[in-house]
A and B are shown apart, each in its own frame.
Chain A
Amino acid sequence: MTTQINPLASQAYEKATGWKLFIKTVIARAYPRVIGQQREKSWIFFDIFLPMLSVSAYVFVYRAIGAPEEYVGFVVIGGAMTAFWMNIMWSMSSQLYWEKEQGNLALYIMAPNSMMAVLLGMAVGGMLATFLRAIAIILLGSWLFHVHYVIGNFLQLMAIFFTAMTALYGMGMMSASLFLLLSREADHLAQLATEPVYLVSGMYFPISSFNFWVAAAASVIPLTLGLDAIRQLIFQSGATLGFLNVSLELEILLGLCITFLFGARTLLGYMERLAIREGRLTESRR
């Protein structure tokens, strides 16, 4: 007796392998991130409302001390970028730790797909969802505080933005493994990495106000150079307040992209080896 195999069914259930599996995993992990963040309506409101409160407070501080109006624009753009940083800290760096706490990490590791693809999916999904919020903050902030933009080189602006985002999310992918290894300290470290990072990366003021070496050290965080270059490209006085030449900043950001993505791959490998050797990395501890 022979069994007839339906060719259509076998095509539908054909196992994805190699790059196809990698891309499918990226899409599969990005999907719930984009959909999930839109489904809970209150999150959209608070994602925009909370950064807007900080933006408004700093704008009023500048107005209270009689700052030139372009600083208001600096604050609005900085405030929009905080949305990406919060996404990196809470939805990238802390994510594997949370997955562990909820028992999903073991499933990720067991599944026959690349963990790099899982992390990349988280990054792509998070970036898309956060991009919409950042745009909303910029539009709302610009409307409320009458910010004027003068965009000289749109292509360079796009190149800077996407390179900075790749480097930033690469950093998030790298720190996801790092935070997992830190276990219970991860939450506290994510909490700690807000105001100090806003300070050193010049979120609300030009980074060139710092000593050269302090600004250079702060440039390890991709937001620093990304924000500085964006401000140089969209504000009239931006170039005079910039830290480095925009082209040089773009080159450094490209270097950071490679470094962080390589670092993410290396740390992920280390974490997986540790999980296999010790057999307790996925254990939830309180």
Chain B
Amino acid sequence: MQKTSALNSSESLRSFWMATWLGWQIESNWTDPFLFAVYSIVKPLASAGILVVMYSIITKGNFNTPIFPYIYFGNAFYIYVGAVMSGISWAVIDDREHYKTLKYMYIAPIRIPAYWLGRGVARFLTGSIAVVITIAFGVLFLQVPLNLATVNWPLFFVSLIIGIAMLSMMGLILASITLLIAHHFFLIGEAVASALYLFSGAIFPLDVLPVWLRPIGFAMPITYWLELMRRSLAGNVAQAFPTLAQFSNLQLLGILLGLTLVFGVASTFVFRFCDYRAREQGLIDFVSNY
């Protein structure tokens, strides 16, 4: 019994690392390193640029208000949401419809969920570079308040690790659902990331949303994760807004951890269900040609 468990664990690890290597090759080898770097950086910087221009038009360039770092940090860390969730769920479409290799993956001695998680690592890495560059740009040119000496590093790293685990579980759920649907012009990962961008208080406090929409934001772990990231980097900024002010850092961590566990358990069941349905309906080698 112990031997089987050790075997499964080593199989999962091997699947994860091989998928990480494969994912990196697919993500990066389509062009030369310079163009790849430009591609990885320009998109998130432009996204931040839209918000910066919008903000500066209205405030006449006054970046010394609490709302600006709130928007800037939220938007910067939100890069991870799109990168991790889309990275994992896109692997299904990429393998099934583009390379037509998903059926081979299924008969190979690998663990599919670990393989998908590994495929998401490449986007996580490029996303990390984009997050660092976006924040550095804000600090250097836009007066985003960040003092490395006053950053709450333990809170930052603990929140980051739990947050990435939470996003991975959400990505796994989306990847499982992707097994059952066709390749549409929209990507399910990006569609969900767009929806959560609105409801998670990433770029504006939840109080701005109509009252009836706020519960969606409060039910989403990303809301608490972004709040923790902001508090760890610039505590006074996050606490200037009443949305989550009544919660201490420890309470927020507890909520985040609890919701991550919920999503972790849900991802296991959703994968089992979707995997069973996909096998039953013959969808593993399905090509929708959209």
Contact = CB atoms under 8 A, between A and B. Distances in A.
Interface in A9-56: 40, 42-43, 46, 49-50, 53-54, 56
B58 A62 contact: yes
Given A195-B50, A199-B53, A57 B197 contact: yes
Contacts of A58: 50, 54
B67 A50 contact: no
A150 interface: no
A198 B46 contact: yes
Given A57-B197, A61-B203, A198-B50, A184 B184 contact: no
Interface string B1-41: 00000000000000000000000000000110001000100
Interface string B202-226: 0111001100000000000000000
Contacts of A185: 30-31, 35
A71 B46 contact: no
Given A204-B50, A286-B98, A192 B57 contact: no
A188 interface: yes
Interface residue tally on A, bucketed by range = 35 or more
Which label, helix, strand, loop or mixed, suits the secondary structure of the B interface? Answer: helix
Contacts of B42: 192, 196
A205 B57 contact: yes
A261 B195 CA distance: 37
A206 B57 CA distance: 9
Given A54-B194, A63-B208, A195-B47, A43 B58 contact: no
A65 interface: yes
B145 interface: no
Interface residue tally on B, bucketed by range = 35 or more
A57 B67 contact: no
Given A57-B198, A196-B42, A209-B53, A43 B185 contact: yes
Interface string B85-104: 00000000000001100000
Interface of B: 30-31, 35, 39, 42-44, 46-47, 49-51, 53-59, 67, 71, 98-99, 184-186, 191, 194-195, 197-198, 203-205, 208-209, 289-290
